[in-house]
Structure 1
Amino acid sequence: MNDALRFSQADLGNALAQCAGYVAASPWGSPATLFALVPTAVLAQQAPGVVDPDDDSVLSPVVQESGDVDLETLLTTVSWPEAVVGCAIVNEITVLPPEAETTLDDAFEPFLADPDAADAAALDAAHAHPERREARLIAGVLRTGQRLALLSLRATPDDEPGIESDLRTHPSLAPNVLDALASTF
């Protein structure tokens, strides 16, 4: 789609912020949410009642029903029509401080012969770590190669008000998730 070439990194960021806003209304503990990213002009043309006439966003996220399918299966089986110029996912994760790496290594090393057991041990260690933080990872890609991942930390009683509305990013945030999303095109 030639129009996809006109989408900027900022357009992707704005669409991901919309995804984050949509999921913010969901309770913590909700399953991952997958979104198709569609040019707002195309969506307005094909489904005029869906788009607010005052919506000036370039891309519109459209929630995809995924049922009870796990995230890995979902990302390996989804395919998109040409009108979809990108996709995004919002998934809850546990964030640990860098110094927790040793704790995780110690937890899963005895199980390296069994990858499932090693993953389970690492998850248990992460969930038991006293400095863990729950967060929502918002990751998205466009067909043209733009990629972006954002992080929204769950507020704790010690946090300043509004922490959950803060979106953070880093160039090396969630490369595997971004690769998995890109592989759906």
Structure 2
Amino acid sequence: MTSPEPAAAAFSQADLGNALAQCLAYTAELPWGSQPTLFGLVPTGVLAEQAPGLVDPDDDSALSPVVQETDTAELEQLLTTVSWPAAVVGCALVSEITLLPPDAEADLDAALEPLLADPVAADEAARQAAHAHPGRQTARLAAGVLRNGKRVALLALREGDGQSGDLQTHPNLAPNVLDALAQTFHG
């Protein structure tokens, strides 16, 4: 017996946030410098019915992240080609990012200005300048969307250097990543 198609509207932003925290917990076991990790978000009840061995009987979470095996490190290509079956009510992506203090903008502009005619070289120069900046912080960004339009992005700063590793969010965090993830349901 198969379950009826899950109603994505039944899931809240809090359910999505909890699933993202699970995604970050999974990726915390990976070494820093790992490729981005893509997850399908499936209702835990559906997963428990279809693959009972994958779900802890005490798991009361609404959504369960399912790691997607990918063969590309090119994030844009991956997000433009992925498609989801009906049982997947959302998706999430965890990637590493470098955060810079507001005063770093002048340093980045100086690195980019001579290379603006070559977008690839400018992008690489910006990446190198960001990694060399003394005020940089490394973090894992977890961004997720549901078919019903709910969106959340969480940031986990790399522990050490006085950082606690606490999860942070902001309404304007990673809008482009969230848009790209949402497009995987409309493409």
TM-score normalised over the length of structure 2: 0.93
Partner of 1:60: 64
Aligned to 1:170: 170
Q: Which consecutive segments of 4 or more residues in structure 1 shift more than 3 A?
A: none
After superposition, the CA RMSD in angstroms is 1.2
2:139 to 135, 140, 145: 135
- Structure 2: give runs of 5+ residues left out of the alignment: none
Note the C-alpha offset of 1:40: 0.4
In structure 2, what residue type is equivalent to 1:116? Answer: V
1:92 corresponds, among 77, 91, 96, to 96
CA distance in 1, matches of 2:122, 2:142: 26
Change (3 A) 1:124 1:69: closer
Q: Point out where structure 1 has 5 or more consecutive residues left out of the alignment.
A: none
Distance 1:101 1:149 in 2: 23
Structure 1 window deviating more from structure 2 (30-39 vs 62-71): it is 62-71
Paired with 1:2 and 1:24, the residues of 2 have a C-alpha distance of 29
Give the one of 70, 76, 79 matched to 1:72.
Answer: 76
Alpha-carbon distance in structure 1 between the residues aligned to 2:58 and 2:140: 29
Indicate which of 86, 109, 117 corresponds to 1:113.
Answer: 117
Q: CA deviation at 1:33?
A: 0.5
Shift of residue 128 of structure 1? 0.7
- SS state of the match for residue 56, structure 2? coil
> 2: CA distance between counterparts of 1:2 and 1:32?
27
Which of the residues 3, 7, 14 maps onto 2:18?
A: 14
Please give the alpha-carbon distance, in whole angstroms, between the structure 2 residues aligned to 1:55 and 1:155: 27
1:144 to 148, 157, 176: 148
